[in-house]
Amino acid sequence: MIRSMRPIIVAGNWKMHTTPAEAGELAATIAGRTHVPDVVRVLCPPFVCLQRVRDRLAVLPAGQSVAVGAQNIHHEAAGAHTGEVSASMLDGLASWVIVGHSERRRDAGETDAQICQKVLRAQEANLHVILCVGEQLADRDAGRADNVVRGQVRGSLEGLQPAPLEDWDRDAFWGPSPWLTIAYEPVWAIGTGRNARGADAAAMADVIRETLGSLGFSDQAHEIPILYGGSVSSTNIDEFMAEPAIDGALVGGASLKPDEMAAIVARAGLTAAARAAAATA
């Protein structure tokens, strides 16, 4: 079921790439080449590049806004955590944040309990959250994929209080906006040469929404956008955007290439236009 409140989102995760000077120019180029009606664009550069990207995007013409996101926050509000960044430190620099990315789970050993605290910190700071979930290859091959993702969604959101639909923020990007977006990133399909299919992502989106419902999100389970994030490129985006359950993409390496981002956003725009037409029919 598609409802008009679910936006189409393309978010670029630049990971540990670009200097501040490079990031500002890249953000401006991508913004200029990806302005497509009804597609929400988010760029997530490294922390040291946030100000430069913010400043370059701030001068875009009205109606062409691109949001700035951070790639991570700490699970505590403040404290003796050398080298870390709190949610409140992003005030004025970013309006979105990625939490629970598979590389953070792998490299930093982040747990679902810590990720849940990050979601809470982001809520307190009025940041839009992109929560990443996804299974490893061994889990999929053993038939545990659904249970693993259910557990991640539960562990990352259990006990949190979802805001009522009527209280969802309204901003310059698309009107009513959910505070939460979930990105399904099958780890086994990232840089391995093994590809996920659109049907895989759609089936997992159903699992995610079912789990959201069981956590008390009720109708919000159908309004929260779900993105696909597994080695997204211009050559495979069509398969995922053709699935009604998928609402966009979290793009990794391809988000550093303006040509790739232009093609990905253009394809997302076709889905956005089709959904808008269906909603008004």
Measure the CA–CA gap between 236 and 56, rounded to whole angstroms.
30
pLDDT in tens, 51-81: 999 999 999 887 789 999 999 999 999 999 9
Choosing from 74, 75, 101, 128, the catalytic residue is 101
Among residues 43, 39, 45, the alpha carbon closest in space to that of 63 is found at 39
Measure the CA–CA gap between 206 and 279, rounded to whole angstroms.
21
Mean pLDDT to the nearest integer, 71-100: 97
Choosing from 110, 185, 223, 260, the catalytic residue is 185
Q: Is the pLDDT of residue 274 over 70?
A: yes
How high is the pLDDT of residue 4?
Answer: 47
pLDDT in tens, 120-132: 999 999 999 999 9
State which residues form the domain around 154. Answer: 8-96+108-280
The answer as to whether 193 is a domain residue is: yes
- Any catalytic annotation for residue 185? yes
What is the total count of domains within the chain? 1
CATH code of the domain containing 92: 3.20.20.70
The answer as to whether 168 is a domain residue is: yes
The answer as to whether 62 is a domain residue is: yes
> Is the distance from CB of 223 to CB of 6 less than 8 angstroms?
yes
